[in-house]
Amino acid sequence: MTEKEKRQERTRWMMNDRFGMFIHFGLYSIPARGEWVRSYEAISVEDYEQYFNSFDPIDYDPKKWAQLAKKAGMKYAVMTTKHHDGFCLFDSQYTDYKATNTPAGRDLIKEYVDAFRQEGIKVGLYYSLLDWHHPDFPAYEDEHHPMRGKEEYKHQNGEHFERYIEYYHAQVRELLTNYGKIDLLWFDFS
């Protein structure tokens, strides 16, 4: 079997089961101005910290979402594990910037995975390759980084980018190891 045939076989389910949903959720849900709010409004890590300190999604109910998705006929769901702001909804051992360290105090991805699997819906995970919180992610010259062009971030311009690559590889390994079979892994950005 050729590589192309292998890929077609692996992805056949998605060509047939095209009805699903993406769930974008994270710290940016609190200001409720979109997941790019830090970039658009040039919000510093310090000013964004208020959302981390108050993150406790009391209406987070993936069991209900999964039941509604199944009733609607959805075949898959993809949920944000980490968006561009760097905040993780899973219990990563590689960062303290995660839901388990907020007032929520729990692994929200585990709850999502368990709920959607229970309803027989394929599970997908979304992971951003950008990370505006990580100190080794380039800030100064990156056109999307909230601190782009700010003189105090001139030192943060990719000189230790290899450490960031190790970091995100380690987190992706966690996602593919700690939650059983993942049907779809969606990387955002290039």
CATH number of 22-188: 3.20.20.80
pLDDT tens string 83-140? 999 999 999 999 999 999 999 999 999 999 999 999 999 999 999 999 999 999 988 7
Residue-level pLDDT at 39: 94
pTM of the model: 0.93
DSSP bridge partners of 78:
22, 124
What are the extents of the domains in the chain?
22-188
Alpha-carbon distances, residue 86 vs 73, 143, 146, 165 (angstroms): 32, 17, 12, 14
Question: What is residue 128's three-state secondary structure?
Answer: strand
User: Is 11 a residue whose pLDDT tops 90?
Assistant: no
Residue-level pLDDT at 80: 98
pLDDT tens string 146-183? 999 888 888 887 788 999 999 999 999 999 999 999 99
Residue-level pLDDT at 151: 87
CA dihedral 108, 190, 84, 168 (to 10 degrees): 60
pLDDT tens string 19-37? 999 999 999 999 999 999 9
